[in-house]
Structure 1
Amino acid sequence: MASTNFKIFNESHTDEQTYNDSEYEKATQRQSGVIQGIALSRLHNKLYFQVSSMCKAIADYIVDKGLDCNDDDVNQITTNFSEAIQNECTPIVSNHNASSDSHANGIAGNAASASKLEIARTISLTGRATGSARTDFSGDVSVNVTDVSIAGKAINDANGDRIDDTYLKKKTVIDVVYPVGAIYISMTSTNPATVFGVGTWKQISQGRTLIGVGNGYSVGGTGGSEKTTLAVENLPPHSFSGNTGNSGGHSHSGSTSMNGEHRHFFYGYNNNNGPYTGDVDGVDTESNSHLNAVDRFNTSAAGNHNHTFNTNHTGAHAHSFSTNTVGSGKSFNNMPPYLAVFIWQRTA
């Protein structure tokens, strides 16, 4: 026995949960499509009811012709639907072709020579365009079409709240969060204009960190360097100390001999008044023949004495010294630990 698993959606079809025909006719979302972010349940229940009812009717028709109609094989549905129509139409067409009455019925004149229908019929257009024309097909048919403007945007949402007051447009959100001049930081290189679809952006601060405005820093100002070389004026106050040996220490000493001890001799005449022929210390008796020694007298030998002396300070001197030179004057890295990111500024 043929089967189908198609069912009607919203089978109860009550007014509480489903648009009636009048509401459905006037519904702006039916005419212009669903508004993003707003889904009216009663409208959708009407739509799903109509669509599922049509699907169920077709499925029942296919089953009535002895063929299956299940949603697990769409290709088979198409094949079975076509076969069901053929099974339905083949005997009708065959009977029609075999009966002259079938050709003559409803046609003015002989079927072979008829130029028009006995009863005129109306052709109507509906949907986004409307219009109609009545014809018996005795000539070409022209239909006057009247454009139907797309319904205006909804003012309120399903809860009755004004859409313009309740929901922010995408552009409005970006303009609020990232106005012109705002900074956007990302770990990807994609331009924010592509990400947001709003604004003009340029990449800034490549190889630079950001610093707050104030305390001498003005907006847009730049400065600083990655590396620094110290100058003498950058060094803290400091001094060097050192010691030299005391090898220059010395003294002077001196002494004099005590060879000052001596005696004095003197002579006088003796009573014989004869010349003195012996040696007299320090006296030439031969050339002084008139000296007549009678006696020689001695003085004591107490002539010993001391001498004192001083030397000048010519030993005074100074020592000079120098310290070893260290350092090479190379620059050093001035940067704190960092994380590299893409920085963009909105310019328009």
Structure 2
Amino acid sequence: MINKCFEFKDYNHKRSEPNYTTVADFYRYCDNQNNVLKSLANCLLWQPSTDYTVGQIVRAPGMPAGHIAKCTTAGTSSEEEPKWTEGVVTDGTVKWSVYDPESATDDKITTASSKKLDKIGGAITGPISYDGSPKTDIELVNKAYVLAAIKAAVSAVTKTLSDNMHSQYPVGSYIYSDKADNPANYLPYMSDTVWEQTAAGRVLIGAGTADSGTVYKAGDKGGEEAHKLTVDELAAHSHTFEDAPILFSNINPADTSCIKPNTEGTCAVDTRATTSSGGNSPHENRMPYLAVYIWNRVA
């Protein structure tokens, strides 16, 4: 019996959401997907080391185009897939009749089961058989319908895998790599996404409020590779200046200020500059770094 295939959207809830998907939920979803695929394989695809009964129909990519194989002698299939050719093929202890159902006639193929499956639904509970031309519009007896069922199953699985990848790398995701390849070119099921190389020469920091109280908003840019200090940014300091000694007789007794020798009256002050030092160049302002390619998904 084929189980109902679970919907991925019901098992894709983040931890921040109500009724988020637990590990047990995800295991249950994976088990369901495996059971559905296993049921599909058992009904339609050849399998190694498997018991087959007379009348069962299988398909395999290695068969001639448009051909199917019908079990004519019950037994167990080989561990390795046989070489499929039109006619009788021996596979372990199983014998298959390999043919093109489009050109087959009633006298060449015996009916494996009188049961039919209709095109409007219903569970596949037994082997799919071919017994010539359809008797009614709802009988499942043609290759096209079986191939459509396989295609639909493959499409469903592909969509599930694609949804998983898109959920893992949503718009706004960043990927770090030492290769310049665009992630859309090598991530499976992500060829429809758009990525931009970004943040050249920059490091990424977390958005929010830092311990210092500084608020960083997502998308803000700041910092500089090299920085020239301003006067306000210099550490507080002083300079020592030595001048010639002043004789006691050169001090004005009225206000104890100094006066030049042989001069009376207002004291004259000498202003002198110290010799400048330093190259006035910006200093290195970067932490030790390793350059990699950073890609941001934008669509």
Structure ID, larger Rg: 1
Shorter chain as denominator, the TM-score bin is 0.3 to 0.5
Larger relative contact order (Cα-Cα within 8 Å, sequence gap ≥ 6)? 1
